[in-house]
Chains A and B, each alone.
Chain A
């Protein structure tokens, strides 16, 4: 009997738990709970070695003060695909709390005096032996003056597979938002067999810091001309082929002096000095669609592990 949790933990507002277990060669969701404003959906699939969970928020977005904390266990011999439905929209800080009957967590209650609390999303993943986690959400979009922190920790076994996509877009084009968020902080920490192999931290801030305005660079200027930045961490047996393909493609690129930047740029790098740690891919594109298509094509060999129909649900 899978002992994922011996007692039902007290759930805070925005808390959630997912456990995918294996029994008789089939994957089944043995734990599945979420409290407002977090919402989880899991469609029934024909392939029963894979499960899909959509991670959503009521209202389709997060506002200041929201705190989402999700714990995910992908047990041995199972494959979990985590998706979202549409970009995770983060709205500006707002002083009032959401109305919810469930007690807000400690984190959300804390705030700097005089300042509205920021939005926080914490995800803790455990991926066991011969298991695979495909975290392929839509990108985060921080609207004007939004402040967002995301902390993702992945604890994986030596023979587990991880595909971690973390990406952000520049804002609502229709409103002329071009990197006008206040703060975006995202951490992806990867531990393999208990040992930390990577801690990728991205911090994007707009702050009028330098008094000399000539030297002050806005976020839009620093990141121009790209409207979408993505980071993908790949490691494990099921992505060996993808990594090999990427390595070959990357090695074949040769840059001559250009007059202006390309529409899409990507880089490939190993993580640490051990091949087992995997690779990190970074992509920047002038439009989100371009990056999406690039990712969809690049990760296509995942179809052989999760099936064409399941893969199709990612990057819609």
Chain B
């Protein structure tokens, strides 16, 4: 079994300790505010809009970060609302911690003879890069948002950019379904069916957003992506669902709630 396949089996584990189970991505707020009509269609409707919106706002950061793990990362200055910011940062940091504590080769194995020297070097370089970024986040010099940390994690682990993008959106969709079950929106056994139905949505959105960039120059210095130059066909992150944005921000206004965001 190749490395990448193994990673693809490991990363989507719902027990991965990233704290994503407390984030509803605005779904709880959406329901509480009376949106979506009756229960029958609510989940799929929300998923459709949320996946599309999330892909448009986040994927460029995953892609760019993945591509230039060594370079200084851009400041994520799309003004996320306070609730989403909170959720994004905590999950981001959790991912970085996961890498340092869980996914680097254990010290005991570094002496194993059939490991390549360069692989060990790369691993220790990545570990130090990740911990450097974590320090920046703790010092509040870097935001440490989820899509950025996901880009770092998957790049450090050697996942291809395409896989990284796809998996990120897949996990967003899957998380929404878990949320839906916990909110008693869909029965437990509907999760897999809806995930299957969502496949075309996930694929469509990843294809649509895979070439988006945040506008930082590449490490080779040849690219001059200016998402808002007048040649722009808007190739950068954007908010495409203002309603979702308002409801996610209003999450904390719910009188009672079970999710953190």
B237 touches A201 (CB 8 A): yes
Residues in A with CB closer than 8 Å to B35 are 261
Please tell me if A254 contacts chain B, counting CB pairs below 8 Å.
Answer: yes
Q: Could you say which interface size class chain B belongs to?
A: 35 or more
Residues in B with CB closer than 8 Å to A196 are 75, 77
Residue of A nearest to B78 (CB): A199
Residues in B with CB closer than 8 Å to A283 are 246
Interface residues on chain A, number (Cβ under 8 Å)? 55
> Which residues of A, 119-149, contact B by the 8 Å Cβ criterion?
120, 122, 149
Count chain A CB atoms within 10 A of each CB in B79, B232, B241, B250 and give the residue with the most.
Answer: B79
Residues in B with CB closer than 8 Å to A41 are none
**Docked pose: A197 CA to B143 CA in angstroms:** 12
Q: Among the listed A198, A215, A261, which residue makes an inter-chain contact with B33, where contact means beta carbons less than 8 Å apart?
A: A261
B32 touches A255 (CB 8 A): yes
Please tell me if A217 contacts chain B, counting CB pairs below 8 Å.
Answer: yes
A223 touches B238 (CB 8 A): no
Given contacts A110-B230, A151-B228, contact A199 B77 (CB under 8 A): yes
Please tell me if A95 contacts chain B, counting CB pairs below 8 Å.
Answer: no
Please tell me if B72 contacts chain A, counting CB pairs below 8 Å.
Answer: no
**Docked pose: A185 CA to B56 CA in angstroms:** 13
Residue of A nearest to B239 (CB): A202
Please tell me if A174 contacts chain B, counting CB pairs below 8 Å.
Answer: no
Residues in B with CB closer than 8 Å to A231 are 242
Q: Among the listed A106, A217, A256, A257, which residue makes an inter-chain contact with B52, where contact means beta carbons less than 8 Å apart?
A: A217
Residues of A within 8 A of B (CB): 106-107, 110, 120, 122, 149, 151, 185, 187, 189, 196-205, 209-212, 215, 217, 222-223, 226, 229, 231, 250, 253-262, 265-273, 280, 282-284
Contacts A200-B79, A215-B201 known; 5 new A-B pairs at CB < 8 A: A107-B230, A196-B75, A223-B242, A255-B29, A265-B247
